[in-house]
Chain A
């Protein structure tokens, strides 16, 4: 069963591409907003949603709780 999940590439939501689990992120307003270092260094608008993503997404080597907590907050707001 576990193997099957791996083969089909199923991912938990917190493993999906989000700015909040990208290598280039730092916290700006936890857990909703992050600072994208890549955008900041290139002079672009650098405060982005934790749950956004772009083509430069690169997985973070160690996971933090940003995505998990942002998703939880989003779900709570959707289902008050």
Chain B
């Protein structure tokens, strides 16, 4: 039986601010208060730090929602280079937006209160309050169609997994700020489980229209299942950081359960709610019922805007780790290739 005093062990320590405090110092003040979103964010930082310090943990990063066009591109690329992320599972769209910038395009600060029919007239696409000119998509489509042709020629009809495909793309990019390029250089696999549900699908159509059947690029959606499960099987411990959720989140969770292993660490940043039964809002406790996350795991959901939460968490943890910290990452699986 839980005693009354068990509920009253830790008083709230009110936040104290000063003019020279660092990100991590602010997060520690959040932890001192420990309530609401501040407490959750502080816990998320602690869990992410533990993941990074655990040399036998493979850290998966799930990316859903338009965080790359909105400004997280370089943060993710830098974390990838530093090996604070071992495996990326993303929507196709986020990687396509990475490509738009890698190939010379831009995203622009806009506004949500705008006449969208005027944007339509000007061929400008809106992602909440970020704008993308159509020509940046068009030019990327054209460059990527050529790249599809090249990769197809190289692979000689052999089907690639999305991981092999993204690696081929990364090897052809020069932009050091690109996530795809950083992942290629750091040997971090990128899986795109819903690749066709993005501009990659449009590019495929262009590629297909101008190529003969035997010259077509083939990406096998099932091939990557074996690859990601293999990574899970070879990893003593598993951690995931989720931005958004959806298909990328469940790809990681499903790999964990397929390998009969639950995740040991989980941080989910979302604004979705659990009542719909969707994967972006489902609680981590619900995930335990499937065996996707272990009952005894370090886990937290942070309800908030990933554009604020994720960089704050990353900055606090980078500060804790210090400049001299080097993480090798556990994915030995790729080194055998």
1/0 contact trace for A6-33 toward B, CB 8 Å?
0000000000000000000011111000
The CB with the most chain B CB atoms within 10 A, among A27, A28, A41, A64, is that of A27
B134 and A65 contact, CB distance less than 8 A: no
Name B121's contact: one of A40, A41, A42, A65 (CB within 8 Å).
A65
Q: How far is the CB of A35 from chain B (nearest CB, A)?
A: 5
What residue in chain B is nearest A33 (Cβ atoms)?
B135
B134 and A27 contact, CB distance less than 8 A: yes
* Residues of chain A lying within 8 A (CB to CB) of residue B120: 62, 64
Residue A43 at the chain B interface, CB threshold 8 Å: yes
Size range of the chain B interface in the assembly: 10 to 19
Given contacts A35-B142, A40-B142, A43-B210, contact A26 B123 (CB under 8 A): yes
* Residues of chain A lying within 8 A (CB to CB) of residue B142: 35, 40
The docked-state distance in angstroms from the alpha carbon of A29 to that of B43 is 48
The docked-state distance in angstroms from the alpha carbon of A42 to that of B139 is 17
What residue in chain B is nearest A41 (Cβ atoms)?
B209
Q: How far is the CB of A30 from chain B (nearest CB, A)?
A: 6
Residue A51 at the chain B interface, CB threshold 8 Å: no
Size range of the chain A interface in the assembly: 10 to 19
The docked-state distance in angstroms from the alpha carbon of A42 to that of B209 is 7
A30 and B138 contact, CB distance less than 8 A: no
* Residues of chain A lying within 8 A (CB to CB) of residue B135: 26-30
Given contacts A27-B133, A28-B139, contact A40 B122 (CB under 8 A): no
A30 and B121 contact, CB distance less than 8 A: no
The docked-state distance in angstroms from the alpha carbon of A11 to that of B118 is 23
1/0 contact trace for B99-121 toward A, CB 8 Å?
00000000000000000000011
17 chain-A/chain-B pairs, Cβ below 8 angstroms: A26-B137, A27-B135, A28-B139, A29-B135, A30-B134, A30-B135, A35-B138, A35-B142, A40-B206, A41-B206, A41-B209, A41-B210, A42-B209, A62-B120, A64-B121, A65-B121, A66-B123
Residues of A whose CB lies within 8 Å of any CB of B are 26-30, 35, 40-43, 62-66
Residues of B whose CB lies within 8 Å of any CB of A are 120-123, 133-135, 137-139, 142, 206, 209-210
